[in-house]
């Protein structure tokens, strides 16, 4: 929520685009902006068209299962920059607290908060604790209890450990050999999407974009494995797909999987019918295998060009 967005909403209301408006904000709407919104809609005589205003508390990202990110770039640099004023640091801490509050509200849990003293983690812990207490004790509606029926589950409070990045600086300088870590190091990954420049047989360069989705079983099973094992896994998956594709085309008496979809289901045997039914899943597997084959090939080229295997061995020996 920003003043310019409130102004645009009020302008849309004044243009009478819709009969009713359900306004959803991704994060909590500050009281000052809510009052400004009320003033602008009252001035245009459109406040009666607002059916509901929702705070969705969605200002965080989940790039994969069991992991979330506040998506604040360069936070470590900002907090430790001598050019940062106390006001700017305080504002950044407040943004972190609001985002963590959104995560906890989504999980419907109030944790026990632990943090070391004397750094940014303590500031975040103190303000987050205050915000949780204020919401639970002073709000007319406790959002943490909304929709939660298991009282026993509510009583099991997890522990939220907040640590400053300074506690483990070495891990920021190390280069891992896993598939996921190499992709993060070598490519500009954003929201689980990467772009790779590839060269075809004619020497022409083209940029391709790939989505590393949590629904991709190969990515889910191999992201944390060392890159050599992933290369073997891609080869095995490719061979398994080829065997299944050959079996289906043999049963259908066609030359490729593209022709299988055109076969008459009514005239086919039950075995072939099952194979035709599984064709969409097989096609999706092929797309996944091709994607990881291209990514792995590009990774291998980068490893050779930059001698990353030598760098990894040197770091392991240090």
pLDDT in tens, 147-158: 555 544 556 788
**Residues ≥6 apart with Cβ < 8 Å to 38:** 47
Of 177, 113, 141, the closest CA to residue 315 belongs to: 177
Of 162, 182, 195, the closest CA to residue 227 belongs to: 182
**pLDDT score of 155:** 62
Query: Does the structure show a pLDDT above 50 at 66?
Result: yes
> 126 to each of 132, 228, 256, 296, how far by Cα in Å?
10, 45, 63, 45
For the chain, what percent of residues have pLDDT higher than 90?
25
Q: How many angstroms separate the first and last alpha carbons of the chain?
A: 48
Does the global pTM surpass 0.85? no
Which pairing describes strands 50-55 and 21-25: parallel, antiparallel, or unpaired? parallel
Query: Does the structure show a pLDDT above 80 at 216?
Result: yes
Q: Mean pLDDT lowest for which of 26-30, 249-253, 255-259?
A: 255-259
Q: Mean pLDDT lowest for which of 126-135, 162-171, 176-185, 231-240?
A: 162-171
Split at pLDDT 50, 70, 90, the class of 97 is: very high
**pLDDT score of 75:** 87
SS3 10: helix
**pLDDT score of 201:** 72
pLDDT higher at 138 or 39: 39
Alpha-carbon gap, residue 36 to 238, rounded angstroms? 59
Split at pLDDT 50, 70, 90, the class of 272 is: low
Alpha-carbon gap, residue 291 to 314, rounded angstroms? 31
Q: What share of the chain is helix, strand, coil (3-state, %, to 5)?
A: 55, 15, 30
For the chain, what percent of residues have pLDDT higher than 70?
87
pLDDT higher at 242 or 280: 242
Dihedral sign for Cα atoms in the order 222, 225, 228, 233: negative
Asked if 122 and 52 touch (Cβ cutoff 8 Å), the reply is no
Query: Does the structure show a pLDDT above 90 at 127?
Result: yes
Alpha-carbon gap, residue 96 to 72, rounded angstroms? 8
Angle at 262 between CA 260 and CA 264, to 5 degrees: 100
pLDDT higher at 233 or 257: 233
Query: Does the structure show a pLDDT above 50 at 267?
Result: no
Q: How many CA atoms lie within 13 A of 253 on its CB side?
A: 4
Q: How many CA atoms lie within 13 A of 179 on its CB side?
A: 22
- When pLDDT is averaged across residues 203-230 and rounded to a whole number, the result is 88
Alpha-carbon gap, residue 263 to 254, rounded angstroms? 9
**Average pLDDT value for the chain:** 83
Query: Does the structure show a pLDDT above 70 at 177?
Result: yes
């Amino acid at each position: 929520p920003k003043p310019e967005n409130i102004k645009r909403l009020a302008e849309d209301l004044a243009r009478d685009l819709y009969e009713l408006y359900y306004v959803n904000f991704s994060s909590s709407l500050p009281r000052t902006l809510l009052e400004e919104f009320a003033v602008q809609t009252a001035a245009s005589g459109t406040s009666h068209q607002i059916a509901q205003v929702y705070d969705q508390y969605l200002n965080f990202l989940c790039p994969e299962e069991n992991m979330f990110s506040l998506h604040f770039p360069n936070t470590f640099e900002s907090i430790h920059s001598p050019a940062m004023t106390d006001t700017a640091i305080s504002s950044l801490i407040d943004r972190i607290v609001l985002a963590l509050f959104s995560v906890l509200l989504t999980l419907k849990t109030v944790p026990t908060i632990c943090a070391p003293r004397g750094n940014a983690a303590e500031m975040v812990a103190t303000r987050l604790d205050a915000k949780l207490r204020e919401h639970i004790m002073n709000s007319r509606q406790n959002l943490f209890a909304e929709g939660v029926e298991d009282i026993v589950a509510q009583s099991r409070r997890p522990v939220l450990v907040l640590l400053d990045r300074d506690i483990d600086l070495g891990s920021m300088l190390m280069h891992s050999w896993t598939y996921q870590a190499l992709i993060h190091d070598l490519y500009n990954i954003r929201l689980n999407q990467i772009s790779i420049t590839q060269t075809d047989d004619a020497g022409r360069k083209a940029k391709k974009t790939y989505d590393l989705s949590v629904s991709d079983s190969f990515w889910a099973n191999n992201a944390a494995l060392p890159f050599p094992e992933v290369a073997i896994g891609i080869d095995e998956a490719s061979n398994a797909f080829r065997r299944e594709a050959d079996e289906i085309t043999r049963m259908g008496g066609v030359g490729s999987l593209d022709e299988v979809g055109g076969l008459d289901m009514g005239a086919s045997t039950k075995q072939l019918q099952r194979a035709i039914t599984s064709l969409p899943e097989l096609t999706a597997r092929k797309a996944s295998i091709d994607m990881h084959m291209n990514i792995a090939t590009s990774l291998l080229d980068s490893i050779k060009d930059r001698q990353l295997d030598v760098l990894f061995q040197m770091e392991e020996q240090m």
